[in-house]
Structures are given as structure tokens and as C-alpha cells.
Amino acid sequence: MTSRLPRKRVTIIVGTLALAAIGSAVAVASSRTHASGASSPEFTVGRGTLVSPQLISSRAQSALSASGATGQLYLLGKQGDHAYYRDAQSDGNACYAVGSGTDITSVACLYSDQEMPAALIDMSTVVVRRSDAPNLHLESVEGIAADQVSAVGVERADGSIVTTPVSGNAYRFEPGAIPSDAVAIVALDETGKVLQTKEVG
């Protein structure tokens, strides 16, 4: 028997952005974005560079539209052949997205009115095999990191952490570098302090 619990209402939806890979180097002219309100936000994120929506496939455009994003795309950074974007929904809230070539692979549109309400907008993926569900296996580690995050790590079962640096508000582990005994993804500042922990094991 299930019961319907009160829904936590969060006021604003934010949109982000995804875009196809661009061959030439793109200089990211960032201006830091801030949440509205009297106090400074704990986490901020770069504005990124406006890119043409014509660089993404029609399927990608459909994914952005279905998620509530406007398709006005800002490239935050690149990691290998993946690109990381933000967009603005029509009501001003942010979405973040991961792109591969001309496709978008994941979109997250925020209900928060803050541009970056957490240290990470994590887009990591796992696989659950029907034969041993609900056990999961980490397949990719990537996403958007706030300006305050210096590195993202994967914590292993023994407590050790394998890290990768953040570049242009983006992080990504090479597939072969993801530990098989991962239990958490952590965001670290420049002193090594853990800003956020996400259990994945």
C-alpha cells in the first residue's frame, strides 16, 4: 500500500543548455551568475558562451524543448568529445545539459530559483541488470560543477578517492578510470574539502 506524501513545492524552474561539439576552440567569456535575493549564493556557475542552436540535431532540440529549455544555448566547457551547457527556460530558470556530437544526452531543468543550488549537477549514469537488480554499476561520471569546485572524485569502498579536475564548470572521468567499487561521487574545493557527496553504491 502506498500513501501520497505532501509534495515539497519549489518555486522556480530553471533551464539549461546543451550543444553540439565545435571543432575550433571556444573562448568562454564568463560572467558569474548569482541567485536573486539578499544573500550571496553558496555556489555560482559561469555564464558560458552563446552558441548557435543550429549546431545540434532536431532530436536534441526536441529534448531541450520537452524539458522546458528554450534552446538558447551557452557552452560552459568541454571534456573530450562531450560538451556541457546551460540554457534559460522561458520563465528564467536554468537547465543544464550534456552533449555528444550534435546530440544531447541528458538535460536537467531546475525548479530552484538559484542558478547553481548545489556544488554539482551530476549527470553520471549507471546500469542495472535485470538479473541482479537493484544492484547498480557506475558507467559514466560527468556533469556540471560550480565555480567553487576544484575537482570531482569517486570514492571507493575502502574510503580512498580518485579525482579528476574541473575545467570550464565541467567534469568527466574517462570510462576506464572509473573504479569498479565506487560508492560515492564527491565535489572537492581547492583545499580538498568535501562540498557535496552523492552516494552511488
Partner 1 sequence: MRRSRRISAAVLFAAVALATVATTAKALTGAYWGYNNLSATNPPNATCSYNGRVWPAGFACSGWGNWDISWVDWTSGSGKFIFGFICQSDDSLHGPILNGAGGDVPAFYSTVYYADCPGHYNHAAVGHVGGTYNYLQAGKN
Does the footprint of partner 1 cover residue 100 (CB under 8 A)? yes
Distance CA 193, CA 187 (A): 8
Burial of 96 (0-12, 13-18, 19+ CB in 10 A): buried
Rank residues 48 and 143 by Cβ distance to partner 1 and give the closer one. Answer: 143
3-state SS assignment for residue 111 = coil
In whole angstroms, how close is the CB of 120 to partner 1 at the nearest point?
7
Q: Which of 59, 80, 177, 192 forms a contact with partner 1 (CB under 8 A)? A: 59
Q: Which of 123, 146, 154, 170 forms a contact with partner 1 (CB under 8 A)? A: 123
Q: Tell which positions 21-50 bind partner 1, by CB under 8 A.
A: none
What backbone phi and psi angles, to 5 degrees, belong to 109? -110, 125
Distance CA 32, CA 91 (A): 20
Angle at 192 between CA 31 and CA 81, to 5 degrees: 55
Grid coordinates representing 98 are 550534456
Does the footprint of partner 1 cover residue 107 (CB under 8 A)? yes
Does the footprint of partner 1 cover residue 72 (CB under 8 A)? no
Does the footprint of partner 1 cover residue 111 (CB under 8 A)? yes
Rank residues 25 and 134 by Cβ distance to partner 1 and give the closer one. Answer: 134
Grid coordinates representing 168 are 570550464
Binding stretches for partner 1 (CB under 8 A): 2-8, 10, 13, 59-60, 62-63, 65-68, 89-91, 100, 103-112, 117-131, 133-134, 136, 139, 196-200
